[in-house]
Amino acid sequence: MKSLISIRDIRKSFNGGELYGNLNLEIEAGKITSIFGPNGSGKSTLLNILAGIVRHDGGIFTIDGFDHREFSYIFQNYRDSLLPWRTNFENLALPLEFQGKSREFIAQRIDELQKLFEFDCDWERYPYELSGGQQQILAFLRALITRPKLLFVDEPFSALDYGNNLKLRKHLQAYFLAYRPTIVLITHNIEEAVHLSDRIVVFGSKPAKVIASVDNPLAFPRNIDTLKSEAFHRTKDAVLNAFLKTETI
Amino acid sequence: MKKYAYVGPILFLLIWAAITGFHLVNAFFLPSPVAVFGKLLKIFSDGGIFPDIFATLFRISVSFIVAAGIGLPAGLLLGGFEKAYRSLEFIIDFCRSLAPLAVFPLFMIVFGIGDASKIAVAAISSSVVIIFNVAYGVMHSKKSRILAAQIMGASRLQIFRSVIFWESLPQIFVGIRNAIAWIVLIIIAAEMFVGTNVGLGHRIIDFQITYDLPGMYAAIFLTGVLGYVLNAIFALAERRIVHWSGK
Ligand SMILES: Nc1ncnc2c1ncn2[C@@H]1O[C@H](COP(=O)(O)OP(=O)(O)OP(=O)(O)O)[C@@H](O)[C@H]1O
Ligand SMILES: [Mg+2]
């Protein structure tokens, strides 16, 4: 196992309140790792620390060969990260514009991605004219437009209906198999976590810590039949049981 | 809702007509609407008011161009370098609080009594208003979009051009509209002093000296129209450009 991200004894407090005492986690290269855990367990904060947006108080982490041009991060509040003064097309083009890519290159990338994800909208209109779910897909596609080697996604499907959610999971797998990025996915949906990931890391809160790590050996691509399979349910139950160890519901 | 907009003005005219019609106040102080609008028609038809309108518009336009030319770049720059802004904050706040006409006599000594001193006072004092608002807009732009751009690996300049500038655009418009209001106020007032024979402010004083009160009301009304139209133009531009506001 080759880990891309190593997290060792990371400590973090907010206003005197300790969030993590010592957090340890390894994230493998070229795999999809899900983080599953309750509200306030420090999932987003962990990604923020790794992305360099939030400072940690102690411990170290390393990300092999980290390069901003090969890294994307979709925030939990994806809506606030779309630019309302840019059209949908221009929003999607933004990361490539920053990298100084040509118009033709950008147009081609957008075309490819749009086809791969079967996503269409009025490209000359603005994000505030899209539905919440469409905005979320747009923000998601914007993160993929650079074909990042490392992708952080925080609740990327939270605003989607079940059908669109399944559709996007399918397309994301196709994308993943084509480009093999390392993906860290935060989700509140066990089914989504098990469907998409090689490994599910279960977080507990107060204090936040990793309480379990469940490997998921199912082969990609995983389709609707996989969702109904016994192997799928075994993994799902394992995650649920780990979760129930700390949560009383 | 638009149709209700007419109610107020019509009511106002009716009450005004009633007051003068029933001689409730001395007709010398408050001429009838007919007298005022008759006078307005006359100064337009004999062309006598045009030089004044053009002179005032010219002074306002030049003041605005100078104010924006100083205020926009300075505000963007100071906003971008927050430490620089903080160092100058007291001076900017002080200048903003200073009544512009207080420096008019000084400016007359420096720039002479002609248009230059009027324009200088209006331009400089309103550029401070623009600087303040633009810098404020830049410094208080929402962090989430800036962070998103940082994550994409954008340079500082790219972030400024593609995010911060747009993010502060609504506040830039606040500055511009405040500045226009200031400029109209200062130019009209300055025209009442010395050093000019044309301008709406000068006309108001002229009519006052000759006790031509319908003329004075007409000139005051024109001044109001001027301010209103200028504001409306920028409000329209703002709605067009900042199309995402409130969404
Ligand atoms: N900027 C901040 N200032 C103070 N406290 C913060 C800040 N950011 C996060 N916290 C606290 O840290 C804890 C973890 O927050 P975080 O956003 O990482 O949780 P999360 O696991 O992503 O939760 P959710 O599932 O609700 O998204 C919360 O209790 C929150 O109040
Ligand atoms: Mg979160």
Structure tokens given for A247: 């949560």
Question: What are the pLDDT digits (tens) for B218-227?
Answer: 999 999 999 9
Q: Which numbered ligand comes closest to the C-alpha of A75?
A: 2
pLDDT tens track, chain B, 247 positions: 678 889 999 999 999 999 999 999 888 899 999 999 999 999 999 998 999 999 999 999 999 999 999 999 999 999 999 899 999 999 999 998 999 889 999 999 999 988 999 999 999 999 999 999 999 999 999 899 999 999 999 999 999 999 999 999 999 999 999 999 999 999 999 999 877 889 999 999 999 999 999 999 999 999 999 999 999 999 999 999 999 987 7
CA distance A131 to chain B (A): 12
pTM above 0.80, yes or no: yes
Q: Which numbered ligand comes closest to the C-alpha of A45?
A: 1
Q: Which residues of B touch A94 (CB under 8 A)?
A: 149, 152, 162
Element (H, E) at B100: none
Confidence (pLDDT) at B193: 80
Task: Report whether B165 contacts B108 (CB < 8 A).
Answer: no
Confidence (pLDDT) at A248: 65
The yes-or-no verdict on residue A249 having pLDDT over 70 is no
Ligand 1 atom 9, closest CA: A45
Task: Pick B153's closest partner by Cβ from A81, A85, A98.
Answer: A98
Confidence (pLDDT) at B137: 95
The ipTM assigned to this model is 0.88
Question: What are the pLDDT digits (tens) for A162-216?
Answer: 999 999 999 999 999 999 999 999 999 999 999 999 999 999 877 788 888 999 9
Indicate whether residue A44 lines ligand 1 (CB < 6 A). yes
Confidence (pLDDT) at A1: 63
For a mutational test of ligand 1's pocket, the pick from A14, A23, A203, i.e. the residue with the most ligand atoms closer than 8 A to its C-beta, is A14
Cα separation of A126 and A70, whole Å?
A: 27
Residues with CB under 5 A from ligand 2 (ion): A 44, 76
Closest B-chain CA to A52: B151
Q: How many CB pairs below 8 Å do chains A and B form together? A: 54
The yes-or-no verdict on residue A2 having pLDDT over 90 is no
Q: Give the pLDDT mean for A12-24.
A: 87
Phi, psi of B241 (to 5 degrees): -80, -45
Confidence (pLDDT) at A78: 85
Confidence (pLDDT) at B145: 94
The yes-or-no verdict on residue A3 having pLDDT over 70 is yes
Task: Pick B145's closest partner by Cβ from A71, A73, A80.
Answer: A80
- Please answer yes or no on whether B162 and A126 come within 8 Å at the CB atom: no
- Please answer yes or no on whether A94 and B158 come within 8 Å at the CB atom: no
Closest A-chain CA to B169: A85
Long-range pairs, A2-6, Cβ under 8 A, ≥24: A2/A28, A2/A29, A3/A27, A3/A28, A3/A29, A4/A28, A4/A29, A4/A30, A4/A63, A4/A64, A4/A150, A4/A182, A5/A50, A5/A61, A5/A62, A5/A63, A5/A64, A5/A182, A5/A184, A6/A61, A6/A62
Instruction: For chain A, give the percent of residues with pLDDT over 70.
Output: 98
Question: What are the pLDDT digits (tens) for A54-105?
Answer: 999 999 999 998 888 899 999 998 888 999 999 999 999 999 999 999 999 9
